[in-house]
């Protein structure tokens, strides 16, 4: 009898929090997306009643004249950041830091972790200082004397470069940690054997280390795709979708802008929710895929403790 209820006592705080901040919101975001709830009719509109539901918001999204611009921005942002930094650079750093002196390698990994733990507002402030116009901007003050560049504010001339750099420097550390611990976990015998066989460093990387990275690579790619699709904090602080009209506006930022920041003193919760729903669906689908692909069996092994 003892222990019948115990598990649920242990689980109850999580259940309460998950219900409050996940289940209820998940249901609500779908319902809200079918309504035109905003600041003006809040408290008046019965958004929970199906009589007030329609597909208008979704029609509005697809007929929005900036729709293709926003979609294109999102795809470009995700693909470039992911391939160049979150996977590409992360892999390069992981491979180099595991092939050089152990302590130096660790020091570099610590250094690359800094962007992730720096408060985001401070971090973006640094990037703005780097991009600043001559003579204040750091990059301009270095390139100027060499005769390169126009000395203009680089966030206005090349906003995408800086968005991808700023996000990529944060994103690279995730892959770096996973890849380097996977490399460190390769049995030393394998490396020894390839060395005895006279393999060059490149051959060792290509035929011993990269095959061992197959799963981490797949995991980082899919996981980071989802993170990038839904991240907008850095873009919001860096350019807020500008400098040109919708020049750097991505999907997730649009949802936030529509629903929670008021350009014209009017926050359109329903319309914003419709923008989020698309991301919510992508999120659910991808999360379920992880469950199927990534060794779920190992996780659900029955606990031995109860088989006394």
Partner 1 sequence: MIVRPKVKPVLAYLALVVPSSLVLLGFLWLLITSFSTRTEGLKSLGWTLHNWRFLWESPFGPGYPSIWQITLNTLLMSLIMTVIVVVVSSMTGYALARMKFPGRKSFLSLTLILHAFPSVTLLIPIYFVLLWITKIPLIGRGVPLLGGFGYNTVGGVALVMVAFQLPFGIWIMKGFFDNISWDMERSALIDGASRFKVWWQIIMPNIRPGVAALSVFSFLTAWNAYLIPLTFTAGRAGKSVVLSLYLQNFISESVMTEWNAVAAVGLFQLIPVVVFFLFTQEALLNIYGGGRKGGA
Site for partner 1 in 205-234 (CB under 8 A): 215-216, 219-220, 223, 226-227, 229-233
Q: Which residue among 174, 224, 235, 254 contacts partner 1 (CB under 8 A)?
A: 174
Tokens of 22: 């996940």
CA atoms within 13 A on the CB side of 189: 1
Residue 73 vs 98, nearer CB to partner 1: 98
Query: Using the rule CB under 8 A, which residue among 55, 75, 79, 92 binds partner 1?
Result: 92
Cis, bond preceding 135 (omega within 30 deg of 0): yes
**C-alpha to C-alpha distance for 77 and 34, rounded to whole angstroms:** 29
Residue with tokens 């980071």: 224
Burial class (CB in 10 A: 0-12, 13-18, 19+), 157: middle
Nearer to partner 1, 66 or 290 (CB): 290
Position among 80, 120, 210, 212 found at the interface with partner 1 (CB under 8 A): 120
CA torsion 190→191→196→199, rounded to 10°?
110
**C-alpha triplet 26, 31, 37: angle, nearest 5°:** 120
Pick between residue 99 and residue 243 the one whose CB is nearest to partner 1.
99
Q: Which of 105, 256, 116 is nearest to 175 (CA)?
A: 116
Among 41, 64, 118, 247, indicate the residue that binds partner 1 (CB under 8 A): 118
Q: Which of residues 269-298 bind partner 1 (CB under 8 A)?
A: 269, 272-273, 276, 279-280, 283-284, 286-288, 290-291, 294-296, 298
User: In whole angstroms, how close is the CB of 188 to partner 1 at the nearest point?
Assistant: 5
**Cβ at position 55, least distance to partner 1 in Å:** 18
Rounded CA-CA distance 77/54 in Å is 32
Find, among 52, 64, 77, 40, the residue nearest to 235 by Cα: 77
- DSSP annotation of 84: I
3-state DSSP call for residue 257?
A: helix
* x/- map, 134-173, partner 1, by CB under 8 A: -xxxx-xxx----------------------x---x----
- Point out which span in 49-57, 64-72, 106-114, 149-157 binds partner 1 (CB under 8 A): 106-114
Interaction with partner 1 in 28-47: which residues (CB under 8 A)? 28-29, 32
CB 274, min distance to partner 1, A = 10
- Residue from 45, 125, 210, 212 touching partner 1 (CB under 8 A): that is 125
Beta carbon of residue 80, minimum distance to partner 1 (angstroms, whole number) = 16
């Amino acid at each position: 009898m003892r222990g019948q209820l115990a598990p649920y006592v242990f689980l109850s705080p999580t259940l309460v929090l998950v219900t409050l901040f996940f289940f209820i919101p998940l249901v609500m975001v779908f319902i809200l997306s079918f309504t035109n709830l905003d600041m003006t009719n809040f408290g008046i509109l019965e958004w929970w009643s199906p009589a007030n539901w329609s597909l208008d918001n979704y029609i509005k999204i697809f007929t929005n004249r900036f729709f293709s611009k926003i979609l294109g921005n999102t795809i470009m942002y995700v693909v470039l950041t992911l391939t160049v930094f979150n996977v590409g650079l992360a892999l390069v750093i992981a491979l180099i830091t595991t092939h050089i002196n152990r302590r130096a390698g660790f020091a570099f990994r610590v250094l690359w972790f800094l962007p992730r733990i720096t408060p985001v507002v401070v971090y973006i402030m640094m990037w703005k200082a780097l991009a600043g116009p001559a003579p204040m901007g750091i990059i301009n003050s270095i390139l100027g004397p060499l005769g390169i560049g126009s000395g203009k504010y680089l966030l206005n001339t090349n906003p995408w470069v800086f968005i991808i750099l700023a996000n990529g420097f944060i994103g690279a550390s995730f892959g770096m940690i996973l890849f380097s611990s996977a490399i460190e976990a390769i049995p030393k015998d394998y490396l020894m054997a390839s060395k005895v066989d006279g393999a060059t460093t490149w051959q060792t990387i290509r035929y011993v280390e990269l095959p061992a990275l197959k799963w981490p690579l797949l995991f980082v790619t899919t996981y980071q795709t989802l993170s990038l699709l839904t991240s907008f904090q850095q873009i919001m602080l860096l350019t807020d979708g500008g400098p040109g009209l919708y020049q750097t506006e991505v999907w997730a930022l649009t949802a936030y802008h529509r629903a929670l920041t008021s350009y014209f003193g009017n926050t359109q919760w329903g319309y914003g929710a419709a923008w989020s729903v698309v991301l919510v669906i992508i999120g659910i689908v991808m999360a379920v895929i992880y469950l199927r692909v990534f060794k779920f069996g190992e996780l659900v092994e029955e606990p031995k403790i109860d088989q006394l």
